[in-house]
């Protein structure tokens, strides 16, 4: 951990960016548990829960083209600050959702919140290469993953406690406050974080033309295109599990059915179980990249092998979930699954941030993010339809995602092996 601590100590700009992520991600998990609990309380269908996740994913897909252009045209710091402040105001609107007929308000506000997130995320991914050195990129991505997973674990636990003891409304207020704190921290980044082409290339084109220019660049760079599709391929499997975890928590493993202590008897068992599941998810997502980086190192070829290992663990973990008879064994499967998904996320991001040139980086990450959210939306919709329309159990639906993970992992392995020793890739690899 010494190199991660040293990175935070010596790099003031990254330190502020990282602290902003700490507080905003903490609030994100407060928000997620509050929203899913609210939907579960107001409705009783898997489709309604899927709808809550879809309203998070689809705006990310639809607004990503604009987000990539903004990240390449304007100071990325200001883009992130504006997004944070507007999200703070939006989250407070959830306080008006109180009855089943108000569900449309929840969906509408969620769409707005994640449209703003679609602006924030590519800008943050692109800015990382502006404020850390190339040799620090893998460490910075691993630290980001550890932070995300830690906030997942801590935020999910605290979010479950807050929703159970303080109430759902208070969780939304806390979430809004974290966005404001994040904006203040990002505003302290002193180094300009604009792409170098801001004054030249971008001004000659409009927003959609800029985005199409980025697509043409990716079409001419098949290796970079392949790396940008990795997260989306994995999310075809793990995107559905995000929905199914709610059903596992509410229907199969609610803590209220296992004899909770008397002083916790009034706490909703499903919400408490969901907090535990997210806590374990955080551990797996955080530890996976750290352990594999220590074992395999930062060499580009080894990072690609790490992605292959991530797909194998993702597949194993999902099948484990579909068969787990107890909450304890379900937690083991969750750890294996997220160990794999976290590894896929970190190593593919490090490769992409290093290879993609700064003039296109915002649009490349916007494309990656758009594809990721599209596949998450497909997987999320499938999770609800399989249960409500096909009559599949939550375990059967989870097992189907294991086959999806096996298929997408096999495609990645073929891509990896195809480019293993290609001379055309040598120049790109030497620049990593």
164: domain CATH number? 1.20.1250.20
Residue 283 has what pLDDT? Answer: 81
Output 200 or 73, whichever has higher pLDDT: 73
Residue 55 has what pLDDT? Answer: 76
Mean pLDDT, residues 127-149: 77
Output 24 or 185, whichever has higher pLDDT: 185
Q: Do the beta carbons of residue 341 and residue 232 sit within 8 Å? A: no
Residue 405 has what pLDDT? Answer: 93
Residue 202 has what pLDDT? Answer: 41
In this structure, the chain runs to a length of 432
Burial of residue 205 (number of CB atoms within 10 Å: 0-12, 13-18, 19+): middle
pLDDT tier at 258, thresholds 50, 70, 90: very low
Number of domains in the chain: 1
359: containing domain: 2-420
Longest dimension (CA), the chain: 67
In a domain, 430, yes or no: no
309 closest CA partner among 331, 287, 292, 330: 292
Residue 205 has what pLDDT? Answer: 46
Task: Please tell me the distance from the alpha carbon of residue 306 to that of residue 322, in angstroms, as a whole number.
Answer: 25
In a domain, 385, yes or no: yes
Minimum mean pLDDT range among 94-98, 308-312, 405-409: 94-98
In a domain, 431, yes or no: no
In a domain, 401, yes or no: yes
Residue 337 has what pLDDT? Answer: 93
Give the number of other Cβ atoms within 10 Å of residue 387's Cβ: 23
Task: Please tell me the distance from the alpha carbon of residue 151 to that of residue 27, in angstroms, as a whole number.
Answer: 9
Q: Do the beta carbons of residue 419 and residue 429 sit within 8 Å? A: no
Q: Do the beta carbons of residue 128 and residue 140 sit within 8 Å? A: yes
Task: Please tell me the distance from the alpha carbon of residue 162 to that of residue 402, in angstroms, as a whole number.
Answer: 33
pLDDT tier at 192, thresholds 50, 70, 90: low
Indicate whether 171 pLDDT > 70. yes
14 closest CA partner among 142, 118, 119, 114: 142
Q: Do the beta carbons of residue 211 and residue 49 sit within 8 Å? A: no
Indicate whether 334 pLDDT > 80. yes
Indicate whether 65 pLDDT > 80. no
In a domain, 259, yes or no: yes
Indicate whether 228 pLDDT > 80. yes
125 closest CA partner among 431, 364, 306: 364
Burial of residue 94 (number of CB atoms within 10 Å: 0-12, 13-18, 19+): buried
Task: Please tell me the distance from the alpha carbon of residue 349 to that of residue 305, in angstroms, as a whole number.
Answer: 14
The encoded tokens of residue 153 equal 């674990």
Task: Please tell me the distance from the alpha carbon of residue 122 to that of residue 80, in angstroms, as a whole number.
Answer: 9
Indicate whether 180 pLDDT > 90. yes
Mean pLDDT, residues 404-410: 93
Q: 317 vs 277, 344, 351, 365, 406, CA distance in Å? A: 13, 14, 25, 27, 11
Mean pLDDT, residues 63-85: 83
In a domain, 432, yes or no: no
Indicate whether 428 pLDDT > 50. no
What torsion, rounded to 10 degrees, do the Cα atoms 130, 133, 134, 135 define?
-160
Residue 203 has what pLDDT? Answer: 44
274 closest CA partner among 248, 299, 297: 248
Q: What is the mean pLDDT of the chain?
A: 79
In a domain, 426, yes or no: no
Indicate whether 201 pLDDT > 60. no
Instruction: Spell 269-298 as b/e; 16+ CB within 10 A means b.
Output: bbbbbbbbbbbbbbbbbbbbbbebbeebeb
Q: Please name the residues in contact with 399: beta carbons below 8 A apart, sequence gap of 6 or more.
A: 318, 319, 322, 323
Output 174 or 403, whichever has higher pLDDT: 403
Task: Please tell me the distance from the alpha carbon of residue 368 to that of residue 227, in angstroms, as a whole number.
Answer: 9
Task: Please tell me the distance from the alpha carbon of residue 213 to that of residue 316, in angstroms, as a whole number.
Answer: 39
Burial of residue 406 (number of CB atoms within 10 Å: 0-12, 13-18, 19+): middle
Indicate whether 429 pLDDT > 50. no
Indicate whether 195 pLDDT > 60. no
Task: Please tell me the distance from the alpha carbon of residue 342 to that of residue 280, in angstroms, as a whole number.
Answer: 12
């Amino acid at each position: 951990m010494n190199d991660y601590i040293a990175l935070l100590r010596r790099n003031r700009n990254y330190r502020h960016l990282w602290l902003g992520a700490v507080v905003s991600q903490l609030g994100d998990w407060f928000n997620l548990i509050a929203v899913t609990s609210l939907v579960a309380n107001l409705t009783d269908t898997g489709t309604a829960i899927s709808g809550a996740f879809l309203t998070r994913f689809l705006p990310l897909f639809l607004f990503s083209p604009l987000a990539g252009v903004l990240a390449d045209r304007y100071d990325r710091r200001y883009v992130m600050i504006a997004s944070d402040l507007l999200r703070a105001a939006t989250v407070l609107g959830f306080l008006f959702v109180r009855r089943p007929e108000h569900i449309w308000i929840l969906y509408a506000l969620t769409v707005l919140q994640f449209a703003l997130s679609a602006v924030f995320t590519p800008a943050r991914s692109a800015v990382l290469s502006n404020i850390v050195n190339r040799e620090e990129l893998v460490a910075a991505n691993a630290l980001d993953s550890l932070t995300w997973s830690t906030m997942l674990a801590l935020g999910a636990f605290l979010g479950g406690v807050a929703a159970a003891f303080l109430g759902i409304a208070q969780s939304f207020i806390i979430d809004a406050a974290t966005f404001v704190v994040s904006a203040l921290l990002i505003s302290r980044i002193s180094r300009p974080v604009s792409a170098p082409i801001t004054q030249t290339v971008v001004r000659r084109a409009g927003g959609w033309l800029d985005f199409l220019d980025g697509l043409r660049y990716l079409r001419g760079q098949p290796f970079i295109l392949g790396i940008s599709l990795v997260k989306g391929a994995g999310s075809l499997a793990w995107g559905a599990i995000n929905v199914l975890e709610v059903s596992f928590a509410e229907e199969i493993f609610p803590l209220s059915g296992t004899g909770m202590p008397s002083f916790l008897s009034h706490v909703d068992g499903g919400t408490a179980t969901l907090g535990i599941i997210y806590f374990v998810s955080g551990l797996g997502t955080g530890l996976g990249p750290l352990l594999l980086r220590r074992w395999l190192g930062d060499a580009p070829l080894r990072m690609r092998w790490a992605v292959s290992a991530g797909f194998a663990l993702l597949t194993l973990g999902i099948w484990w979930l579909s068969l787990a008879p107890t909450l304890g064994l379900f937690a083991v499967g969750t750890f294996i699954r997220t160990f794999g998904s976290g590894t896929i996320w970190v190593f593919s991001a490090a490769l992409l941030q290093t290879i993609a040139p700064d003039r296109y980086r915002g649009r490349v990450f916007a494309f990656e993010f758009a594809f990721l959210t599209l596949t998450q939306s497909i997987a999320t919709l499938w999770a609800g339809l399989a249960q409500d329309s096909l009559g599949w159990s939550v375990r059967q639906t989870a097992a189907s995602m294991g086959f999806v993970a096996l298929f997408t992992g096999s495609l990645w392995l073929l891509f990896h092996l195809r480019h293993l020793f290609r001379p055309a890739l040598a120049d790109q690899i030497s620049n990593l």
